[in-house]
Amino acid sequence: MHDTTNRQTPRLCDPALTLDLAGPWQVRKWPFDADEQQLAAPGTDDGDWESISQPGKIFYADPEAEGREIADWNRVTLTHIDPEDGAVLRRKMAVPSDWRGKRIILRFDAVFPAGRFYINGHLLGEHMSGLTPVEFDVSDHVAAGTDALVAVRLIRRHPFVQMDMVRHSLEFGGLAQSALLFAVEPCHMVEHHLICELDAALTTGTLAGSVTVANRGASATSATVAVTLSDADGTPVASAAAEAGLAAGEEAALPVMLAIQDPLLWNDEVPNLYSVAITLQVESQAQQHVGYRAGFRRLDLTTDGPRLNGHPVKFRGVNHLTFHPDHGMHTPEPWLRQNLMLMKRANVNAIRTHYTGPRCLSDLCDELGIYLMQELAIDWGTDYIHDPQWVPPALLRIEGGVRRDRHHPSLMVWSVGNENMAKTKEIAEAGWDHLRQFDALAKQLDPSRPTMFPPPGPANAIKGILELRVGDIADTHYSFDHIKRFLADGEVDNPNSWEADMVRHTREWALHRGWSGCWFSSEYGIFNGMPDLLHSPYASIIDDVVEDPLSDKSTLQAFEDRLRREWGLMRDDPTCLGGAFFPWLCCGAGSADGGNPWGWVRWGEDADWGVVTADLLPKPFFWAMRVLFSPVWFPSRLTWSPGDTELCFTVENQYNSIDLKDCTLRVQQAGGGDYMTMMRKFQDVGMACAPGAAAEIRIPIDEGVLNGLQEGRFGLCRCTLLSPDGFRPVTAEILILPAADLAGETDKTMTIGPDAVLE
């Protein structure tokens, strides 16, 4: 009994019309002493059941549970878990008496990995997708003014479980996101799809689409929908209305279109948002109000490169894998906000969700200014991507994810699945046919956004893939040899299956097929970054340039060398949209109090990947990433020649909308010596450089530094960049070296101490 309708009823703004089911649930784990229907029935006494707060984890991989092999253990398919394993969860809620006469909806935003749902003992259905919402109209089974018993049969393993990337969830089971009961009127909105678009001149913003209204009442009625767009101050700037008559049981999609001139634009640097208010007026019913935030921005993908709002754009991204060290797949909004703010401080401006992220993630990306590439969960399809039985579950995930998030301005690209390629050449074409179906559905549900299909990385006989066959954006994982060849020669050899049956793809063929001309790397840089291991260059894996495990290179240096090489390629190529480092944070279940990762930890996929710890502490790699993700790079050294009174160098501005004239370049200088990095005086140097352009920077050399250079000593120029709002993206130091024939001995005088004289 698969739920196949992923349309999600808009929840009304009135908080009195929503009951949040968060809190203690009564839980009985398998094996059961009664059948499922009895455990879900109102007459069953659950007083002695375990009480567990939800959303949260009912199950997870306890790091203390075993230090031995487990029979049939498989993190991808969970064959070591009995198919009947799981739990029954129950929570009783009082339904307000003033909901009488209304329709009542039960929604679960995510039950991981799957569940069957009951209310007052009535089976509603099941949802074999752990990351997308499911809802039911329970009006016929719930009476206002009485108690409603909500029950969930949590299923730990089902035939399609690997689609949701359970390999990275540490066997989490539970309500991963919110569960709600909410009320609407008999004639109510069942969907809105209003697309924000910006014209090519960037001067006219439109909000257009439809609001679908369903009459579940007993008689015909008329409905009027009014849509109002307001600015950040709450001032209405545009409005439109539509009306229709509806017979009992009828639905109608009411068309809406409104426009504004010179809207404030949304991007990562200035995430300007508007408010959309939708009001439904029906005779003899209370007005119903729905609201959400919208933004105007325009992403153009061309053979000259990607542009956002008319300027070049570069996604300085990371892979975000939903996981909390204590709550598992449930990431509370305050914690998630803190996580994203840390990303912003690291100059990260984009996220690729490595399986569909929670509902509140999109809201936070809208607000904070983070480009979102939302992955629709179809993971590692080697053994199933060709199988028609797996197509409906895949379409279920695509539909649920797209319908939920398609109105968010931060959502830039649909990342459809992950590393899906058929095992053998005999079944390869069926697999590619299914991938094309997935692409078609994503575009049908949201024609306003591009798609990409993340391919497998190098493994076995496969040296790498540049995925040009499906989607609008070419994608590659880990190896950059293929994209280098493609950029140089205009052609590349890709496998059709894991049997390495190769086919040559040319630039001309790909463009004719529908490729945009832009590429991205949705996974690169995988690095087992345990912060305690300071000298393990072998921690870098799946790398084109393998580090020598005996080099004794510091782990941080190995990380920086690789990031500079790989991100530098993406940063410098104008046709590259950017990349997503894998990953930002690795999931880990700790055994110390509160999931503290400083205790013994079991890591997802057995690796402490990521640049921050699971409790959001920056590792050393965080700081290297922050420097290299700066929108502006400074040279590390310059040569001074006699007669030079200025430092001259060129910078490229990779902000999307900020001109460097609106930033501050704060300069400090010192001559050679043991305390030359200790600087107090500074001067602000003027500069100007449009977004996406390059400009020469000229910094007058300090008189003392100049004297030292003339005597053959080196100098130092520290450059601190401050954005218009005062944030410091980077501090960089330029070593100033006298020409080789002038270089003298470095001053080794100890200049710090109780008797030192500081000049």
347 shares a domain with 243: no
> Is 225 within a domain?
yes
Among residues 191, 231, 554, which one has the least CA distance to residue 406? 191
The reported pLDDT for the residue numbered 236 is 98
In a domain, 170, yes or no: yes
Is there a contact between 92 and 165 (Cβ–Cβ < 8 Å)? no
What pLDDT is recorded for position 278? 98
- Whether 431 maps to a domain, the answer reads yes
Q: Does 439 lie in the same domain as 482?
A: yes
Give the model's pLDDT for residue 4: 41
Q: Which residues of 105-122 are buried (b: 16+ CB within 10 A; e: fewer)?
A: bbbbbbbbbbbbbbbbeb
Predicted pLDDT at 6? 74
Note whether residue 751 is domain-resident: no
**Do 268 and 396 fall into the same domain?**
no
Quick one: 129 and 102 in the same domain? yes
* 169 plus 192 within the same structural domain: no
Domain count, the chain: 4
CB 139 within 8 A of CB 114: no
The first and second tokens of residue 725, run together, are 């709002």
* 414, 427: one domain: yes
Q: 3-class secondary structure for 274-340?
A: EEEEEEEEECCCCCEEEEEEECECCEEEECCEEEECCEECCEEEEEECCCECCCECCCCHHHHHHHH
Pair (128, 215) in one structural domain? no
Q: Tell me the backbone φ, ψ of residue 11, rounded to 5 degrees.
A: -85, 135
In this structure, the answer to whether residues 208 and 163 fall within a common structural domain is no
Please report the pLDDT score of residue 594 as a whole number: 66
Mind listing the pLDDT tens digit for each residue in 549-596? 888 899 999 999 999 999 999 999 999 999 999 999 988 888 777 667
In a domain, 298, yes or no: no
Return the SS3 of 112: strand
160 and 262 co-located in one domain: no
> Are 280 and 374 in a shared domain?
no
CA distance 416 to 353: 11
Q: What is the residue range of 475's domain?
A: 314-628
> In the chain, count of helices (H) and strands (E)?
10, 42
Considering the domain architecture, whether residues 601 and 660 belong to the same structural domain is answered as no
The whole-number pLDDT of residue 3 equals 41
User: Same structural domain for residues 563 and 551?
Assistant: yes
Peptide bond into 455 cis (omega under 30): no
CATH number at residue 150: 2.60.120.260
Q: Is residue 332 part of a domain?
A: yes
Residues of the chain with pLDDT under 70: 1-5, 594-595, 741-759
Which of 157, 183, 209 lies at the terminal end of a domain, its last residue? 183
Answer yes or no: is 518 within a domain: yes
The CATH number given to whatever domain includes residue 236 is: 2.60.40.10
pLDDT reported for residue 750: 41
User: Tell me: the pLDDT tens digits for 302-341?
Assistant: 999 999 999 999 999 999 999 998 899 999 999 999 999 9
- Give the CATH number of the domain where residue 718 resides: 2.60.40.2550
Distance of alpha carbon 342 from alpha carbon 330, whole angstroms = 19
Residue 705 within a domain: yes
